[in-house]
Structure 1
Amino acid sequence: MINIPSYARWFVRLAGISGASAVALGAYGAHVFYRREYPEELKQVYETANRYHFLHTLALLGVPLCKHPKLAGTLIVTGTAIFCGTCYYYALTGSKNVRQYTPYGGMLLIIGWLSMIL
């Protein structure tokens, strides 16, 4: 049996919350957002946000198995929130005022994945 520290199990709980919100936002996109007359670019940004939201939710499930779960989990949670959050915001509002932060979220996701190999 794998000995997983109790603090690392919180990332599994966060994955549950993140997964549920990704499904809810995906359903909103499919049933409300995509049916409206939005520019195609905004629909693609929304799809990208939702796809990355799901993928990094799954990554959180592997965090407790890492040697440094606090580091990897924190980077992935923060990167997902910044990257996906700014993409969702832009797609839903058309406002570009937070788009400047999207690359920082992406960099945190890359570093989070790399931290899993430490």
Structure 2
Amino acid sequence: MTDEPRPQGMPPAGPPPQWTGQPQPWPVQPNAQQYPGYSPYPPALPAPANGVWLGVLSLVLGVLGCVVPLLPIDLSGVRAYLALPFGLAGLACGLVGVIGRRTGKPVSGVGIGVSAIALVLGVIMLGNQVAG
């Protein structure tokens, strides 16, 4: 064997120490100076994406899809079509808000329901316009 210097923190070369009957101190935990990037704790899980706004947007679009076609203003020719874009956009935002690790899933679920009601309202209004 060569007498090369050993890295800091390594035990001296040779046979392992024998038990002498005396208590030995606990091994020292490695610190950041000895081992950069070392942590005795497991890595934390990433925080969920902020999906509250997708749920809120879905809910707002669904409510607009239910309310705008029923407003007492002159919407000749387009009234039957107004609920469909709001309902589809709200449904898409609600589905994206429910999928994955996100917060605000209940709001997204309510937004999906209201957007579905807006789509049904739009289909009924469109059917009445075609039949009438």
TM-score after normalising by structure 1: 0.37
TM-score after normalising by structure 2: 0.34
Choose 1 or 2 for highest CA Rg.
2
**Structure with more helix by fraction:** 1
